[in-house]
Chains A and B, each alone.
Chain A
Amino acid sequence: MSGQSLTLSQHAGTIVEDWAGDKETFHVPWGKVMMWIFLVSDTFIFSCFLVGYMKVRRTTTEPWPYPSEVFALELFGVNIPLILIAIMTFILITSSGTMALAVRAAQHNDKKNVFILMAITAAFGASFVGMQAFEWSKLIAEGVRPWGNPWGAPQFGSVFFMVTGFHGLHVSCGVIYLLVIATKILKGHYDKKGDYSIVEITGLYWHFVDLVWVFIFAFFYLW
């Protein structure tokens, strides 16, 4: 049955069964349910930011700066639009892939590879934050402030700092979270119970951070 999803009629049967009985509703480790509850509420926070961004962008009568040009970078004498953001996107996707492999390694109780893959994921995350810091300082040097910028609508700056800042905070926390769990795995903290579902739970958080970036990339940088 591994690697298969249920058909729709089977799904209809399980949902009635799970909610109707006088028993546990979710057949997953409690930590996983807790993480999902946190992620769903975090979804609402990020959605509020993005909807707020949509509103100010829709209502401002001042021109919106071209994000493609704002985030252009001169590499080897050529001006490439949005290149830094593209690199950051690829880094985050790569880190999501290594995290997925770490979760798989945990299912095989392969502690060494779990540690290595989680450490690599954290390293990618840290480099993402580093690039974001570079981007922030570059824009601040060019005069972008939460209350104004040289190219148009002042809301551009406030949205940029708030949305990317909040996302960057999530990535930074994720890096710390990954390193803590990876170290605990290596030290054998979970060996007694033999339950490595914590890796999957950490993975959920990390994939969520990548997921949020997908929306920020589309709506803020590409729109």
Chain B
Amino acid sequence: MENVQIQQPAEAHESGDQEHPIGIYLKVWILLFVLSFFSYMVDYFDFQGMLRWTLIIIFMFLKAGFIVAVFMHVMWERMALITAILGPPLLLLFLIGFMISEGFYVFGTRVDYMGRPAAAERVHVTHGEEAGHEAEGGH
């Protein structure tokens, strides 16, 4: 099919002929390192609460955006392909929304009707022999 492809008039945005300066790849590469380092620091310095979630989400979307836009060349594609790629996954927002709402409800019923604790104490992790044996014995 490639051989009989009709030439599109005056369109520079044909993929395959794309050639981008190497600088943008190197810049994005460094940026991804820096953003990953920052998100690791969020955990290392043990930020908690809203600050933690906000930073994690910001770094995540920045990284994802740069990978899709530059490394996967989406910013250089034509709109027909961009919308075909990025449009359908937007539907997932509905699924996420429904599941959050449903999740709160299920959690509520477990607390209200099954007598489960609303806020259980989290257990700190010990890496040791005993922990392993306990679990083995329990099952």
| Chain A hits for B11, CB < 8 A | 27
| Chain B hits for A96, CB < 8 A | 29, 32, 67, 71
Interface size on A, residues (CB 8 A): 87
- If A58-B103, A211-B64 touch, does A197 touch B56 (CB 8 Å cutoff)? no
> Could you tell me the distance between the alpha carbons of A74 and B125 in the complex, rounded to whole angstroms?
13
> Could you tell me the distance between the alpha carbons of A11 and B73 in the complex, rounded to whole angstroms?
16
Partner of B29, one of A93, A107, A150: A93
- If A23-B6, A223-B56 touch, does A148 touch B21 (CB 8 Å cutoff)? no
What is the count of residue pairs linking A and B with beta-carbon distances less than 8 angstroms? 237
Partner of B33, one of A72, A93, A152: A93
Q: Name B113-127 residues within 8 Å CB distance of A.
A: 114, 116-118, 120-125, 127
Partner of A47, one of B21, B43, B92, B110: B92
- If A44-B89, A148-B138 touch, does A101 touch B25 (CB 8 Å cutoff)? yes
Main secondary structure of the interface of A (DSSP, over half): helix
Main secondary structure of the interface of B (DSSP, over half): helix
- If A24-B5, A24-B6, A40-B88 touch, does A107 touch B107 (CB 8 Å cutoff)? no
A–B pairs, 14, beta carbons within 8 Å: A2-B18, A15-B83, A28-B16, A40-B85, A55-B99, A61-B110, A61-B117, A72-B125, A93-B32, A93-B36, A147-B139, A207-B72, A218-B56, A218-B59
Q: Which residues of A contact B (CB under 8 A)?
A: 1-6, 11-12, 14-15, 18-19, 23-30, 32-33, 36, 39-40, 43-44, 47, 51, 54-55, 58-66, 68-70, 72, 74, 81-82, 86, 89-90, 93, 96-97, 99-101, 104, 107-108, 141-145, 147-152, 193, 195, 197, 200, 203-204, 207-208, 210-211, 214-215, 217-218, 221-223
